[in-house]
A and B are shown apart, each in its own frame.
Chain A
Amino acid sequence: MRRQHFHYVFLLSCALLAGCGAIAQQTPGSLTVRTATVVANGTAALLELGLDCHLSGPMQDALDHGIPITLRIEVRAGRWPRALASATERIEMRYFPLSRRYQLRKTESDDVRSFATPTYLIAALGSLRLGLPGAFANLPATTPLQLSVAIDPAALPGALRLPALFEPAWRLAAKDYAWTVAGP
């Protein structure tokens, strides 16, 4: 009886290990902040952002099947915990099958760009210009700025949110990028 129990436990352990191994073998995507600059223009400010992005296979596959991939961009000025200014932007990447076009859209605005191939879409992430609140236009020099970019799991379809919590292929986050406001 005990040997039989041990047999079951052993098989279950093997299945769990195999599942964990299969998950671990998925190649994750990569996301890096190459450059980030806040450009003040009077009372307005722009975030000029350069991202190096590589989507994982499942992400690319999802994109080709019409699943929008949304990147959440958070920028924060000031030393923690006191924030002088903060903003959150989202960029949505999406495919339209009829026109066979890939679209890059800033969800907070009507700024839309479309591309014939995903390569151009990804390449377009290398030069983004995002509008920031006016508070960013008047930051003192040497104010520390921090930027975090990651996939927004909340924007995924409901059925995909749970696997995205466990599967490495659905992990896409850049290391926090920090810099300071340049002097006048």
Chain B
Amino acid sequence: MDRRGTLNFLFRRVLPTVAVATLLLASLKLAEDAAGDSDRFAAHYRWVLGAAVAALVVLLATIGQRLWRLRGDLTRAAPGARLSRRLLLVLIVLALPSTIVVYGFALRFLDATIDNWFDVRLEQALDAALEIGRIAVDEHLRTAESASEVLVKRLAAEPPASAQAVLDETIESSGAIELTVFGDDGRVIATASSDPRYLNPPFPDSALLMRVHGDGRYAASEPFGDALALRVVLPLGVAHADAGESARPMQGQLLQGMFPLPPRLQPLTRGIERASFDFQRLKFLRGSLKLTFALILTFVLLLSVLIVVLAAFGIARRLVAPVGRLAAATRAIGAGRYDTPLPNASNDELGFLVNSFAQMTRELEFTSARAQKSARETEQQRAWLEAVLERLSAGVLGFDREGQLRVANRAAEAILDVPLSRYLGRSIGELKHERAELTSFADPLARHLRENLREWREEVVIDTAAGRRMLMLRGTALPDQAGYVAVFDDLTVLNRAQRDAAWGEVARRLAHEVKNPLTPIQLAAERLRRRFLGRLSPEEGELIDRATHTIVSQVEALKTMVNAFADYARAPQLALRAIALHALLDEVLDLYENDQRMSLTRQLADGEPRVRVDAVRLRQALHNLIKNALEAIGDARKPQIRVVTRHVRAGEEDWIELSVSDNGPGLPADFGERWFEPYTSSKSRGTGLGLAVVKKIVEEHGGSVRAENDAQGGATFILRLPLEGA
């Protein structure tokens, strides 16, 4: 046992036991002392009482410590604590009232018993007996006094020298046991004794002498040892009135006579005195006796109560401990710890409960293991399905039977440009309410969900921040009315690719079908001009000149347009290399720096961003944008063009954005993706390929282009290109 265990054993077992034993012994000792007059331990009375009080303190401290521990257990809701408290209260309530009732009755019984000892008639009888005894003693006292007076007379009649002879002669006849003549200085002049115990006569003390001088005599019964003697003291000089003139001058001398009571009277008086003495003594001690017995009973009560409380603690602990451990085991099992040790099963109902609990635990463990395995498999399937969904390029939305969104994959969020995870558990109507731009998507979806069609498909167009998107929306109802799944693909890129391919085909056909006849037409017009211009009249010659000039110029225009289409349709053969964007910009913009038609400002980002591009193609795109801006502004005002670059980070990639802004009328109201297609222009001049070429070049370099109106007026075209090394 370690030191802590030893201390624990000492404080929890040994000390309370010692305290109980001490209190018990102290109570017994006090009871013994109160009942009798034993003085065996009388000198240690304080220690006995102190030990009893110390034992009480130890017991109270022990109980207090257990109560405090119980309070702690209750506070932290320890298993079995409340049951312990209830058991404790029940045991105390059962034991305490009976103990207190017994205590009360014992006190009352004690009080009544002690009072009964003091019967008034008994006291009166004892007083009467005492008085009779006194009368008897007084009678003999008078006899003794008479005998003493006779002796005084005789002594007065005899010479002083014969005093001893007179005493010796008289001692037997007077019945005295001792006769003494004291001188005025207290010296013994003569003495005679018939009893060896009275050989040394006591000299009268001052009080007695005062009585003698005051009353002329002293006669009283006095206790001597355990017997009663009659003491008579008479002055010899004035012994008796009858002495008269015969009295001798013996002034200051005293005769002391000690007379015994008759032997028959001795035990009687002694008995009367002792009985009266004991009765009076008990009468006086009545209150103290009651107090002492009450204190003893209180000690016994406290002992009983404290033992009951301690026993209640022990019983409660023994009863509750297995229940508490069962409760703790229940909590542990509830938390999934099935290896928690259970209390030993006893051969009673509690043991049956423990065995049943153990069996239940085993079954729970088995079921739990099976459930965990199933949950793991379900989780794996869910993770696998989620991974599949996340890697799908098509958007997938899952709805429960109430039409609430349960599943949305990443592609759906990207296509719709909406954080759909926020809308999980909400209906498609709420999505539509908060995202008005998805109305064209949500309406058909909600309608088909309502109609509960088994399978359906529909093409929808939505406007997102990234532009208009065309979606192919398909839906199907899950088996057992488990819900619905909607899958949609973004057809925008596919459509655009198809259109780009179509435009390329157009351009190739134009180059082939249109460009080939142009040269003969131009040559024919020039021949007509050379042949007929000098031969015709001036009016006709002017007509020919104007007509052929128109034909040639329009053919040139047609050639230019066809060449432009050819350039647009030509497959990209890029000479990519890393270049400093700002340096290339400066080269292009310097060409326009001295152009009096416009005001050019540049606002470039810090540093020197490097991009991997075909410098020739990028220059062409820049020229197209500036040219587009100049044409958009027109002649109405002086063109102001601002070129800005800035770093942006999007999709965990670094980009450089190059924007060209003008102070023109801004973008038309219906401006959209379509305006980056060939032959879409708001201007009367131009080929309608400027923006289409810009878009084509930017996309060839992995970038993008967009346009927006400025708040102060004018339009801004923004190219976004990937930074080299990002």
A50 CA / B49 CA spacing, docked (Å): 34
Do B205 and A159 have beta carbons less than 8 Å apart?
no
Query: 0/1 per residue, B194-232, Cβ < 8 Å to A?
Result: 000000001001010001000000001111110010000
Do B285 and A154 have beta carbons less than 8 Å apart?
no
Q: B288 at interface (Cβ–Cβ under 8 A)?
A: yes
Do B36 and A158 have beta carbons less than 8 Å apart?
yes
Do A99 and B284 have beta carbons less than 8 Å apart?
no
Instruction: Identify which of residues 37-84 in chain B touch chain A, using a CB-to-CB cut-off of 8 Å.
Output: 37-39, 42-43, 45-46, 49
Q: A32 at interface (Cβ–Cβ under 8 A)?
A: no
A165 CA / B47 CA spacing, docked (Å): 11
Give chain A residues whose Cβ lies under 8 Å from the Cβ of B276: 97-98
Do A158 and B37 have beta carbons less than 8 Å apart?
yes
Do A162 and B277 have beta carbons less than 8 Å apart?
no
A113 CA / B43 CA spacing, docked (Å): 27
Do A158 and B273 have beta carbons less than 8 Å apart?
no
Give chain A residues whose Cβ lies under 8 Å from the Cβ of B444: none
| Minimum CB–CB distance for A64 against chain B, Å | 8
Q: B504 at interface (Cβ–Cβ under 8 A)?
A: no
Do B33 and A158 have beta carbons less than 8 Å apart?
yes
Instruction: Identify which of residues 98-134 in chain A touch chain B, using a CB-to-CB cut-off of 8 Å.
Output: 98-101, 103, 110, 112-117, 120, 123-124
Do A99 and B46 have beta carbons less than 8 Å apart?
no
Do B272 and A159 have beta carbons less than 8 Å apart?
no
Do A157 and B223 have beta carbons less than 8 Å apart?
no
A143 CA / B589 CA spacing, docked (Å): 130
Q: A40 at interface (Cβ–Cβ under 8 A)?
A: no
Query: 0/1 per residue, A12-30, Cβ < 8 Å to B?
Result: 0000000000000000000
Do A159 and B39 have beta carbons less than 8 Å apart?
no
A183 CA / B276 CA spacing, docked (Å): 53
**Residues of chain A at interface, number, CB under 8 A:** 34
Do B34 and A158 have beta carbons less than 8 Å apart?
yes
A156 CA / B34 CA spacing, docked (Å): 11
From the candidates B130, B202, B281, name the one contacting A157 in the complex (CB within 8 A): B281
Do A159 and B42 have beta carbons less than 8 Å apart?
no
A154 CA / B37 CA spacing, docked (Å): 10
| Minimum CB–CB distance for A7 against chain B, Å | 19
The residue on B at minimum CB distance from A156 is: B42
Give chain B residues whose Cβ lies under 8 Å from the Cβ of A156: 42
Q: B140 at interface (Cβ–Cβ under 8 A)?
A: no
Do B37 and A67 have beta carbons less than 8 Å apart?
no
A157 CA / B33 CA spacing, docked (Å): 8
Q: A155 at interface (Cβ–Cβ under 8 A)?
A: yes
Q: B368 at interface (Cβ–Cβ under 8 A)?
A: no
| Minimum CB–CB distance for A139 against chain B, Å | 28
Do B291 and A101 have beta carbons less than 8 Å apart?
no
The residue on B at minimum CB distance from A121 is: B207
Query: 0/1 per residue, A21-57, Cβ < 8 Å to B?
Result: 0000000000000000000000000000000000000
| Minimum CB–CB distance for B656 against chain A, Å | 79
The residue on B at minimum CB distance from A112 is: B224
Do A98 and B130 have beta carbons less than 8 Å apart?
yes
A159 CA / B228 CA spacing, docked (Å): 29
Instruction: Identify which of residues 614-655 in chain B touch chain A, using a CB-to-CB cut-off of 8 Å.
Output: none
Known: A65-B284, A120-B207. A99 touches B223 (CB 8 A): yes
A98 CA / B221 CA spacing, docked (Å): 8
Do A162 and B224 have beta carbons less than 8 Å apart?
no
Do B42 and A154 have beta carbons less than 8 Å apart?
yes
| Minimum CB–CB distance for B662 against chain A, Å | 87
Do B223 and A162 have beta carbons less than 8 Å apart?
no
A159 CA / B34 CA spacing, docked (Å): 4
Q: B134 at interface (Cβ–Cβ under 8 A)?
A: yes
A116 CA / B204 CA spacing, docked (Å): 12
A101 CA / B211 CA spacing, docked (Å): 14
Do B280 and A159 have beta carbons less than 8 Å apart?
no
Do B222 and A101 have beta carbons less than 8 Å apart?
yes
Give chain B residues whose Cβ lies under 8 Å from the Cβ of A99: 137, 220-223, 228
Do B133 and A98 have beta carbons less than 8 Å apart?
yes
The residue on B at minimum CB distance from A103 is: B223
Give chain B residues whose Cβ lies under 8 Å from the Cβ of A67: 281, 284-285
Do B205 and A153 have beta carbons less than 8 Å apart?
no
| Minimum CB–CB distance for B201 against chain A, Å | 13
Give chain A residues whose Cβ lies under 8 Å from the Cβ of B228: 98-99
Give chain B residues whose Cβ lies under 8 Å from the Cβ of A175: none
Do A161 and B289 have beta carbons less than 8 Å apart?
no
Q: B325 at interface (Cβ–Cβ under 8 A)?
A: no
Q: B292 at interface (Cβ–Cβ under 8 A)?
A: yes
The residue on B at minimum CB distance from A62 is: B284
| Minimum CB–CB distance for A65 against chain B, Å | 4
Do A162 and B292 have beta carbons less than 8 Å apart?
yes
Instruction: Identify which of residues 145-166 in chain A touch chain B, using a CB-to-CB cut-off of 8 Å.
Output: 153-163, 165
A172 CA / B228 CA spacing, docked (Å): 31
Do A160 and B280 have beta carbons less than 8 Å apart?
no
| Minimum CB–CB distance for B426 against chain A, Å | 53
Give the top 5 A-B pairs by smallest Cβ distance, nearest first.
Answer: A154-B42, A158-B33, A65-B284, A98-B273, A99-B221
Contact residues of A with B, CB < 8 Å? 61-62, 65-67, 96-101, 103, 110, 112-117, 120, 123-124, 153-163, 165
Q: What are 17 of the A-B contact pairs (CB < 8 Å)? A: A62-B284, A98-B134, A98-B137, A98-B221, A98-B273, A99-B220, A101-B222, A115-B205, A116-B211, A117-B207, A154-B43, A156-B42, A158-B39, A160-B285, A162-B45, A162-B49, A162-B291
Q: What 11 new A-B contacts, CB under 8 Å, besides A103-B223, A159-B33?
A: A67-B281, A97-B273, A98-B221, A98-B273, A100-B134, A110-B225, A113-B205, A154-B42, A158-B36, A161-B42, A163-B288
